[in-house]
Chain A
Amino acid sequence: MVYLTRKIEFSASHRYHNPAFSVGENKRIFGKCNNPHGHGHNYTLEVTIAGEPDPVTGMVLDLKQLKEILEREVMQRMDHRFLNYEVAELKDQIPTCENIARVIWKLLEPKITQGRLYKVRLYESPDLFAECYRDGAAG
């Protein structure tokens, strides 16, 4: 098995706010992330695909293809967007690193037809990331 990872970067803004919580609770739980007008990050996304290299091409999947999938599914959807308001998949969810990573997993998984999606790691900053993978496949 070979694991290949492609990295992309996008910038977006978000705000943590749960309408079911009071103003005070939102402030206490989410702190500065609850600021009404949002704030932004430079996100780094690492997508890892697992598979056996094709005997003819020597590739698990064509990186050009993966690049196009990431461009279409992630960049066009999330880059320079306000995640709460402009990304339908995140509607009614708090756009934390965990939730964005899971949305990206769900968008990408059906599109990866050569090899399989093994891991999605999303950095919100160099010091904070969320990672998702199928339970049993080591992280």
Chain B
Amino acid sequence: MSDELKMELGRRYRFAASHRLHSEKLSEEENCRIYGKCNNPYGHGHNYTVEVRVSGPVDPATGMIANLADLDAFVNREVVEAFDHKSFNEDMAEFREQVPTTENVCIEIFRRLKAFPKARLERVRVEETSNNAFEYAGNGIQDRRAIR
């Protein structure tokens, strides 16, 4: 373990969206059994909270890992505007082929934020409700294919 003190910044964002959990690879019955109410044909929605964590050296001139205005602008453009008030299944190409579970939503958000130029993306946490949370730290994302 290095003695260096590591610093991370965490910032939370919110959006509301709808989804339906349904896999073309499964029969109607299996979809119903596996996804339950989440398989309802017309979908349903959640208020999602996204926690973004970045790390990096603290600039002595600003006291910051990354200027919040830059981080906010990037996350708002790449995630909040792209996901807010959308139907994942109908409105987003990424979820045509894969089921928009919050696991997959979390991975997609990580993929989009990885390009943030001012700090290193450490982790993305997505809370689908106050009881369900999913985290992804990007292990092997390049090789990963959607499971569902």
Contacts and interface: CB of A to CB of B under 8 A. Distances in A.
Nearest to A127: B12
Contact of B10 (A16, A96, A128, A136): A128
Contacts of B12: 126-128
B7 A132 contact: yes
A133 B6 contact: yes
A134 interface: yes
Interface residues of A, number: 31
B12 to A, nearest CB: 4
Contact of A98 (B2, B11, B58, B69): B58
A129 B9 contact: yes
A99 B62 CA distance: 10
A31 B68 CA distance: 10
A30 B62 CA distance: 8
B65 interface: yes
Interface in B64-78: 64-65, 67-69
B1 A131 contact: no
Main secondary structure of the interface of A (DSSP, over half): mixed
B11 A127 contact: yes
A12 interface: no
A93 interface: yes
A135 B5 contact: yes
B63 A93 contact: yes
Interface in A60-87: none
Interface of B: 1-13, 53, 58, 60-65, 67-69, 122
Interface of A: 16, 18, 20-21, 29-31, 93-99, 101-102, 105, 121, 126-137, 139
Given A96-B58, A105-B5, 5 more contacts: A97-B9, A98-B9, A130-B9, A134-B6, A139-B6
